[in-house]
Amino acid sequence: MQDIVELERRITAAMEQITKGAERLLAAQQSDAAQTAAPLGQGAPDEGVLAALRAELAGKDDEIATLRRVLAEAGREITSLRASRAAEATEAAEILAALDPLVRAAAEEAPNA
């Protein structure tokens, strides 16, 4: 159960990172669009700045893709843990069902002994 809680915490943290990354990406895109739209001679960025911004955007895209892969992996891990937990619960129920008649029989014989 603690594994599931830890995975849920990791998923939440990953989702927060994705959100922050997406916000930074959007802000960078808006900044890039605003700077590109500025007429020449009125503060338009030089090509080096644009190249740096494009490289940063590409890096953010890679970061977002990585976070999505981590999130998907964590989701698969949670699904696997839930399936294991369900199988263990079923096994425990079967064991209890098998032991119940033995316990009842022992309880009935104990007062007679």
| pLDDT, tens digit (0-9, with 9 covering 90-100), for 21-46 | 778 877 877 777 776 665 555 555 57
CB 67 within 8 A of CB 18: yes
What's the pLDDT tens digit per position in 71-107? 899 889 999 999 999 999 999 999 999 999 999 999 8
| Long-range CB contacts (within 8 A, 24+) of 65-72 | 67/14, 67/17, 67/18, 67/21, 68/18, 70/10, 70/14, 71/11, 71/14, 71/15, 71/18
23 inside domain: yes
**Enclosing domain of residue 76:** 2-86
Q: What is the pLDDT of residue 8?
A: 80
How many structural domains is the chain composed of? 1
The pLDDT score that the predictor gives to residue 43 is 53
Q: Is 98 a member of any domain?
A: no
The pLDDT of residue 113 is 59
Give the least confident one: 29-33, 57-61, 62-66. 29-33
In-domain check, residue 50: yes
The residue assigned the tokens 């890679």 is: 62
Q: Is position 94 within any domain? A: no
In this structure, is residue 106 part of a structural domain?
Answer: no
pLDDT of 45: 58
Place of tokens 């030089």: 46
Q: Above 60 in pLDDT, residue 63?
A: yes
Phi, psi (deg, nearest 5) at residue 45: -70, 155
The confidence score (pLDDT) of residue 36 equals: 64
Collapsing DSSP to helix, strand or coil, 44 comes out as coil
**Is the pTM for the entire model greater than 0.75?**
no
Rama region for 41: left / alpha / beta (φ>0; ψ in -120 to 50; rest): left
Gap between the Cα atoms of 4 and 11, Å rounded: 10
